[in-house]
Amino acid sequence: MTITEKILAAHAGKKEVAPGELINAKVDLILANDITAPIAIKEFEKIGAKQVFDSDKIAFIPDHFAPQKDIKAAEQCKMLREFSHKHNLSLYFEVGRMGVEHALLPEQGLVLPGDLVIGADSHTCTYGALGAFATGVGSTDVAAAMATGECWFRVPESMKFIYYGKLNKWVGGKDLILYTIGDIGVDGALYRAMEFTGETIRNLPMHARLTMCNMAIEAGGKSGIIVPDEITEAYVKERAKRDYTFYTSDDDANYVEVREYDCSKIEPVVACPHLPSNTKFARELTDIDIDQVVIGSCTNGRLEDLREAAEVIKGKKVNPNVRMIVIPATQWIYKQAMKEGLLEIFLDAEAVVSTPTCGPCLGGHMGILAKGERAVATTNRNFVGRMGHPESEVYLASPAVAAASAVMGRIALPEEVA
Encode 15-53 in three state secondary structure.
CCCCCCCEEEEECCEEEEECCCHHHHHHHHHHCCCCCCC
Question: Which pLDDT tens digit goes with each residue over 243-285?
Answer: 999 999 999 999 999 999 999 999 999 999 999 999 999 999 9
Question: H helices within 151-264, ranges in order?
Answer: 173-184, 199-202, 206-214, 230-236
CA 238: distance to chain centroid? Answer: 22
Residue 314: name the closest of 282, 289, 351, 356 by CA: 351
Name every residue whose Cβ is closer than 8 Å to that of residue 250 and which is 6 or more positions away in sequence. Answer: 1, 2
Transcribe 64-132 into DSSP letters. Answer: SSTTT-SHHHHHHHHHHHHHHHHTT-TEE--TTT-B-HHHHHHHTT-S-TT-EEEESSGGGGGGGGGT-
pTM of the model: 0.96
Predicted pLDDT at 418: 73
Predicted pLDDT at 212: 98
The one-letter amino acid at 308: E
Total number of residues shown for the chain: 418
CA 26: distance to chain centroid? Answer: 23
Predicted pLDDT at 309: 98
CA 385: distance to chain centroid? Answer: 20
DSSP class of residue 383 equals -
pLDDT lower than 50: segments of the chain: none
Question: Which pLDDT tens digit goes with each residue over 115-173?
Answer: 999 999 999 999 999 999 999 999 999 999 999 999 999 999 999 999 999 999 999 99
Predicted pLDDT at 171: 97
List the chain domain ranges: 3-261, 270-416
Report which secondary-structure segment, H or E, holds 334: helix 331-339
Provide the 3-class DSSP secondary structure of residue 257. Answer: strand
Q: Are the C-beta atoms of 125 and 213 separated by less than 8 Å?
A: yes
CATH number of 3-261: 3.30.499.10
Mean pLDDT of the chain: 97
Provide the 3-class DSSP secondary structure of residue 197. Answer: strand
Q: Which residues is 289 bridged to in the sheet?
A: 410
* CA–CA separation, 34 and 36 (whole Å): 6
CA torsion sign for 198, 203, 205, 206 is: positive
Residue 115: name the closest of 11, 191, 24 by CA: 11
Predicted pLDDT at 114: 97
Predicted pLDDT at 290: 98
Provide the 3-class DSSP secondary structure of residue 331. Answer: helix
CATH number assigned to the domain with residue range 270-416, chosen from the 4 options 2.30.30.100, 1.20.5.50, 3.30.499.10, 3.40.50.10860: 3.30.499.10
Phi, psi of 268, rounded to the nearest 5 degrees: -55, 130
